[in-house]
Structure 1
Amino acid sequence: MASEANKAVTVKKFDAVVIGSGQSGTPLASALAQSGRKTALIEREHVGGTCINVGCTPTKTMIASGRVAYLAKRAADYGIWTIPSQSLEKGHKAYHSREDGDWEKINVVVEMEKVRQRKRDIVNSFRGGSESRISKQENLELITGEASFKDAKSLLVKIIGQEEDVVVEAENFFINVGERPARPDLSGLDQIDPSRVLDSTFVMELAEVPHHLIVLGGSYVGLEFGQLFRRLGSKVTVLQRGKQLIPKEDPEIADSVKEILKEDEIDIHLNTIVANTKPDHGNDVARKVVVFFEEDGRKNLVNGSHILLATGRVSNADTLNLSAAGVDVDDRGHIKVNAKLETSQKHIYALGDVHGGPAFTHMSYDDFRILNANIISDPTSATPLSTTDRQVPYVMYTDPQLGHIGLHEHEARAKFGDQVQVATMPMAWVARALETDESRGLMKAVVHAETKQILGFTCLGLEGGEIMSIVQTAMMGQLPYTKLQNAIYAHPTLAESLNNLWNYLK
């Protein structure tokens, strides 16, 4: 096989090239091809991008397993008991009474390999569906390899394991290469067994539940995984640098999340500075790493079996040799774009996380909608679509979920001053939450006192993301909060809480 230096090069010409098959790149490539443009879709690893392969799909699949474990452990709260099978041989009475001394509550057993395989199966199904649709699309060629710009109109694509690389030339390029987990510059980290240093990708490939997971970072990723592995049986310690968890949220929301996680027996440390870490070479499998940190200025340490690095993500733009194309990036390495997603080279566009916008799959897909309209379906529109003033909903899939849309209170007050009114209501005042014994959390709404428009809404509660979506729809229609307050919702539903929330505005 030819060496990398001596590889032959094939030149291919296209009308459009999409780099990265994420949640905006894949549908955009198909739309470009359907419009009659000869299109290449370049992917270096797995079709589907972060969401399908290492993000939304696998994490939420595993979180579902964690919730089943959680509910199984709580079965007795609902009057349901799991019992050894031999007790059933003593008759139907076992279902109605605990008078039989052989009837004992048993612990939940987590088969981590099956949890992992279920995750893999669903990921493979989603990915396979995407690959099948791409293969059937006329005018679309999937090229598997590592792309980097040669100049503003061409890419070199290194094809791993093949005799030839490919130079791809085109009039338009669309960059959808996303981000990857950041690795902090932490002293001693490289000395630890790599199998015990995890990020959001590799933590989902564990074949067994960690004895003690130390999570560095107390934001969305760290808390989702921390709660998941606590439910699967791990001891979990979270080290958060800031004074509160999930720093972007309002303090009372963050405090409520903290109390919920503490109730779930997760050990949380705030105001920490992690100094260094080192391996523990003892025989105790639960104590293989040591993390040294300061908490409120006091030195401390924690021993664990694994470390999860949940300290943010970095742009993959650094792999593309963007300087050769004249494409500008910001000081964090994200590609600079305008409101129409154009880079400093007007024929090159950036979509999704790589341009530093809100790092959510649905926002990436909205980038596709913008370019699909402006370039393909309605290119001569006098009012092209843009990213200006678009709503940014999101959900943190802890349990209960945290769903948010619009402005947080501090943002609203900075913009509207004393015209802001705020309402909060605990989920313990929601009938449906009480009936299901899932009443942890609270709702919070921010409104404009004069116009009665909803400025922002947060629900930390059972199906918080679904409740948030109802309020988002009202905001999209510019309905005043009074329309929700006076609406007729079916009883008993979680939605009917939106009758009562507004009574607490002040």
Structure 2
Amino acid sequence: MNQSFDALIIGAGQAGPSLAGRLTAAGWKVALVERKNFGGTCVNTGCTPTKALIASAKAAHTVHKAAQYGLAPQAPFKADLGPVQARKDAIVQASREGLEKWLRHMPGCTVVTGTARFLSATTMQVGNEVLEAKHIFLNVGGRPASRPLPGIEQVPYLTSSTILALQELPAHLIIVGAGAVGLEFAQMFRRLGSEVTIVERNPRLLPHDDEDVAAAVQDILTSEGITLRLGAECISLALEDGQPVVHVSCAEDASPSRGSHLLLAMGRQLNTDDLGLEKAGLIADAHGYVPVDDELQTAVPGIWALGDCNGRGAYTHTAYNDFEIVAANLLDHDPRRVSDRLPVSAIYLDPPFAKVGLTEAEVRAAGTPALVGKRPMTKVGRAVEKGETLGFMKVLVHAETDQILGASIVGVGGDEAIHCIITAMYARQTAAFMRRNVFIHPTVAELIPTVFGELKPLA
């Protein structure tokens, strides 16, 4: 069965549904193809479920710390993972079903269920249907990567997706990989009651961030009893007495790590491998990304790539911005570009780590004359009042132009407070402008002008 449309959207992740909404509102006839769960990674196995679990873990941690706030717990507290997962599942289900209902009832939008593969640059096959359009938008996302570790075939392991279905707390969770996913699950399960060990090849956490940031994050994790095995090389897996064992060679300690459960958090694999890109004249790069230009168009006219699969950002916020860029250029005659956006991200530990712009290491490597301002959270009143004083704020400023180069906040409320700096950077405001702001007391953000007022040359 052949059907013709103005546009095909492949994937109902963050960018796809919103683009369908804009295109249909403009009178386009759209087909949106989704082979599994509406909402993509964010709604189903990423942001929504993990942040719901992190909230539960935060509540459990607060109960455990009750005595620090002058409160006496009435009885020993132990988390039950079943109800925690049920709460998370309800949140995910409501979001997913709401999105699917919106799309299926969207005038001008036809929802097709199945896997789409190219037949040509203008046609794709989904099951027995052939869909044709002059405009095709790829929004296919990714999935947890399976790395070829020695012994992996013999050892049962969890991924960032399958761990979300656990109904009982692991007695001892071993996590291989210390990226954002590994770190967030580590703290989450530790707070819910599991012993946790992280095994990481790199000699320190967060190798792409500044050393002081990595040290602060390490302090957060170790203060809660999480075991870190950094610089772990020659990682291999084994099954002994029915339980997973991770063998490593470390300079300090080469003993194996034994646990009850194993989580592999070693990056993601893109869902571009079964699209039949070559039939459309497209070639993915070595990582599986579909290369795009500054307006997210591929090398083949009429085909765009949005979200994780284009290699221009692996976050929900960048995927949504991809939609905005495409819609602005196609429908609004507004020349928006990927290069206009700032690099912004966060890791949702508690307290979180958020950043914008350049790191201190990047500024140094570029030889840019710069000033730095830094304040520990122990000198932020709001953090002291909350009893959460780990971390710091740091800002970087061009020494000659006074332009803000970047900022990092490791600390309570940092994921929200940093938006003051993000907004100023988009507005191309200076450190002098930031010093003149008056923010509300008592907040974490109120100390941002102070940090900009304490700039010193970057040694």
TM range (shorter): over 0.9
Aligned residue type for 1:183: S
What's the offset of the Cα at 1:205? 1.0
Aligned-pair distance for 1:77?
A: 0.3
2: CA distance, partners of 1:209 / 1:297: 30
Map of 1:408 onto structure 2: 359
* Alignment equivalent of 2:5, drawn from 10, 14, 21: 14
| Residue identity (%) | 39
Deviations 1:138-161 (A, max 9, x none): 110000101111111111112xxx
State the shift of 1:50 in Å.
0.8
Instruction: Give the match for residue 87 of structure 1.
Output: none
1:185 aligns with 2:148: yes
Residue 298 of structure 1 and its aligned partner are, at CA, apart by 5.4
What residue is the counterpart of 1:53 in the other structure?
44
Q: What's the secondary structure of 1:127's corresponding residue? A: helix
Counterpart CA distance in 2 for 1:370 and 1:413 is 32
Match of 2:257 in 1: 302
Please tell me whether residue 237 in structure 1 is matched to residue 197 in structure 2: yes
Counterpart for residue 176 of structure 2: 216
C-alpha contact 1:149 1:156 (8 A) present in aligned 2: yes
Q: Which amino acid aligns with 1:121?
A: A
What's the RMSD between the two structures over aligned residues?
1.3
How do 1:139-178 residues align onto structure 2 when only pairs under 5 Å count?
139-158=108-127, 165-178=128-141
**1:135 and 2:104 aligned:** yes
Q: 2:301 matched to 1:338?
A: no
1:91-490 equivalences under 5 Å are: 106-158=75-127, 165-192=128-155, 194=156, 197-281=157-241, 288-296=243-251, 299-378=254-333, 384-415=335-366, 417-490=367-440
Q: Distance in 2 between matches of 1:464 and 1:107?
A: 32
Q: 1:55 to 1:418 in 2, by over 3 A?
A: closer
Query: How far, CA to CA, are the matches of 1:385 and 1:502 in structure 2?
Result: 31
In structure 1, give the amino acid aligned to 2:41.
Answer: T
Q: Paired residue for 2:65, among 61, 74, 79?
A: 74
The AA in structure 2 aligned to 1:253 is V
Amino acid at match of 1:64: A
2: CA distance, partners of 1:276 / 1:250: 29
Does structure 2 retain, via aligned residues, the 8 Å contact 1:329–1:335? Answer: yes
Counterpart Cα distance in 1 of 2:285 and 2:234: 27
Is the 2:292–2:299 Cα contact (8 Å) retained in structure 1? Answer: yes
Q: Distance in 2 between matches of 1:112 and 1:274?
A: 33
Q: Is residue 501 of structure 1 aligned with residue 456 of structure 2?
A: no
The residue type equivalent to 1:61 in the other structure is: A
Question: Using the alignment, how far apart are the partners of 1:116 and 1:281 within structure 2?
Answer: 28
Kept in 2: contact 1:181–1:312 (CA 8 A): yes
Question: After alignment, is 226-235 or 470-479 more displaced?
Answer: 470-479
Please report how far the alpha carbon of residue 275 of structure 1 lies from its aligned counterpart in structure 2 after TM superposition.
2.9
Indicate if the aligned counterparts of 1:363 and 1:392 stay in contact, CA closer than 8 A.
Answer: no
- List gaps (5 residues or longer) in structure 1: 1-9, 84-105, 159-164, 283-287
1:449: how far off?
1.1
Q: Is the CA contact (8 Å cut-off) linking 1:217 and 1:310 kept in structure 2? A: yes
Highest CA radius of gyration, 1 or 2? 1
Cα contact 2:414–2:444 (8 A) shared by 1: no
Q: 1:208-263 CA deviation, whole Å, 9 max, x = no partner?
A: 11111111111111000000000011111111111211221101100110011000
CA distance in 2 between partners of 1:241 and 1:498 (Å): 35
1:103-122 alpha-carbon deviations (Å, 9 max, x no partner) = xxx33221211111111100
* C-alpha contact (below 8 Å) 1:421/1:447 kept by paired residues: yes
User: TM-score normalized by structure 2?
Assistant: 0.97
TM-fit CA distance, 1:487: 2.0
Q: 1:290 offset after TM fit, Å? A: 0.8
Distance 1:107 1:407 in 2: 46
TM score, norm. by length of structure 1? 0.88
SS at match of 1:388: helix
* Count of paired positions: 456
Q: Distance in 2 between matches of 1:452 and 1:34?
A: 44
Q: Report the equivalent of 1:34.
A: 25
Deviation at 1:500, TM superposition (A): 2.1
Contact 1:14 1:169 in 2 (8 A): yes
- CA distance, structure 2, for counterparts of residue 297 and residue 74 of structure 1: 33
Deviation at 1:322, TM superposition (A): 0.4
Cα distance in 2 between the residues matched to 1:439 and 1:143: 50
* Aligned mates of 1:60, 1:478 — CA distance in 2: 32
Check conservation: 1:328, 1:343, Cα contact below 8 A: no
Structure 1 residue 354 displacement after superposition: 0.4
Cα distance, 1:202 vs structure 2:
0.9
Q: Which amino acid aligns with 2:408?
A: T
What do the CA deviations read for 1:146-181 (whole angstroms, capped 9, x no partner)?
1111111111112xxxxxx21111111000001111
Deviation at residue 297 of structure 1 after TM alignment: 7.5
Q: Distance in 2 between the 1:131 and 1:358 partners?
A: 25
What's the CA shift for 1:312? 0.5
Deviation at 1:189, TM superposition (A): 1.6
Secondary structure at the counterpart of residue 496 of structure 1:
helix
Task: Determine the C-alpha separation between the residues in 1 that align with 2:8 and 2:213.
Answer: 43
Aligned-pair distance for 1:36?
Answer: 1.0
**Aligned mates of 1:81, 1:419 — CA distance in 2:** 53
Kept in 1, the 8 Å contact 2:368–2:398? The answer is no
Partner amino acid, structure 1, of 2:395: A
Q: Which runs of 5 or more structure 2 residues have no equivalent in the other structure?
A: none
2:6–2:30 contact (8 Å) kept in structure 1: yes
1:299 deviates by: 2.7
What's the CA shift for 1:359?
Answer: 0.6
Would the alpha carbon gap of residues 436 and 110 (structure 1) be closer, same or farther in structure 2, given more than 3 Å must change? same
Structure 2: which amino acid aligns with 1:59? T
